[in-house]
Structures are given as C-alpha cells and as structure tokens.
Amino acid sequence: MDGQKLDRPLQGRRKVLATLLLAGLLGGCGFHMRGNADFAFKRLYVSIPPNTLMGSDLRRAIRNGSDTQIVTDPKEADALLDVLQDTRTKTVLSITTTGVVREYRLTQRFTFRLRDAGGQELIAPSQLVLTRDLTYNEANTLAKDYEEQQLYRDMQRDIVQQLIRRLSAVKAI
C-alpha cells in the first residue's frame, strides 16, 4: 500500500513531463493553432455578392478571424478584394468499356486580386485551383449528388482559408 502512495506523485510528474515534451515537439515542427489573421488593412471591400455561398463564407471568415471590417462602399475601404472568377467544372475522368461514366473530376477555380484605395495592386491577379475526384455509380445517384455537393463545399472552405492566408501575407498598404 505504501508503494502505491509513493508512486502517485511520480505518475503525475510523468504526465506533466509528457505534456511539456509534446508541446515542445508540436511547437518545433511549425504547428500553430488557427488564430486571428493580422491584416495590414482595417476596412475591406469584397466584390463578390454577400448572398452567394462563397461571399458569405469569405465574409464570415474575415469577420470572425480578424479585426478587419467588411464595408459595402468601395470608397470607405483601405483595400479592395476583386473576385475576377469563381467557377466550378465537372469533367469525365474515366468511363467503363460500355461507355458509362465511372469517375468525375471536380474543379473549382477562384481568381482574385487585392488593391489599395488608390488602385495600386497589393496582390496581382492570382488563381486558386482545387480538384477532387468523384467515383460515380448510377445505382447511387442521389448519394453521389450529395457527395459532389459536399466535395464542392469542402473545396470552397479550403479556398477561403487559403485566401485568408494570402491576404494576411500583405504587410503594408
């Protein structure tokens, strides 16, 4: 019994040591929690309509992840985010020997640029392109349609996160 009482403080110290070691390893590998984005601008005009899925996701990410305000009038903005293209395509990737589609490739292209209030480009026109492959089966048409929509949704979230990282890389206006 006395051996068990003496062993308890040692187990607690081991847990603390293991936690500190894990935290040190994570910090050393470049891992960091997703935190607030630090933008060089405090008021941003976004040219994509707020009633679109991409527009609402982007505005939500900027509002919740930074102290930057989204403005509705470009004249009030420190920076202007011009969305030049936001398209989705679906192409046949493979077919069976009988000519039935077996696999699709889903692609989302998002082209943008960032300008300051004077029109000077802070980020030249840039394109983010994401692709996902989708297997297809006629017997599961509804499920595959749902899976396709989910894949597009995931690509959109990825594009928003990549865009936030690129916007935060701008250090001065």
How far apart CA 140 and CA 143 sit, in angstroms, is 5
Tell me whether residue 159 is in a domain: yes
Tell me whether residue 74 is in a domain: yes
> What tens digit of pLDDT does each residue of 81-113 get?
999 999 999 999 999 998 889 999 999 999 999
The values of phi and psi at residue 73, to 5°, are -110, 120
Residue 18 has pLDDT above 90, yes or no: no
Tell me whether residue 58 is in a domain: yes
* 160 close to 110: Cβ distance less than 8 angstroms: no
How far apart CA 114 and CA 81 sit, in angstroms, is 5
How far apart CA 167 and CA 114 sit, in angstroms, is 8
Tell me whether residue 44 is in a domain: yes
Q: Note the pLDDT of residue 23.
A: 64
For residues 32-71, one letter each, b for 16 or more C-beta atoms within 10 angstroms of the residue's C-beta and e for the rest, the string is eeeeebebbbebbbbebeeeeebbebbbebbeebbebebb
Three-state DSSP string of 50-118: CCCHHHHHHHHHHHHHCCCEEECCHHHCCEEEEEEEEEEEEEEEEECCCCCEEEEEEEEEEEEEEEECC
Tell me whether residue 81 is in a domain: yes
Tell me whether residue 38 is in a domain: yes
Give the number of other Cβ atoms within 10 Å of residue 133's Cβ: 11
Give the number of other Cβ atoms within 10 Å of residue 155's Cβ: 20
Banded model confidence at residue 172, pLDDT cuts 50, 70, 90: confident
Q: Note the pLDDT of residue 25.
A: 60
Range of 123's domain? 9-168
If one counts the domains in the chain, the total is: 1
Q: Report the pLDDT averaged over residues 27-34.
A: 50
Tell me whether residue 2 is in a domain: no
Tell me whether residue 161 is in a domain: yes
CATH value at residue 72:
3.30.160.150
> What tens digit of pLDDT does each residue of 53-74 get?
999 999 999 999 888 999 999 9
The values of phi and psi at residue 39, to 5°, are -90, 150
**How is residue 40 written in tokens?**
């060089």
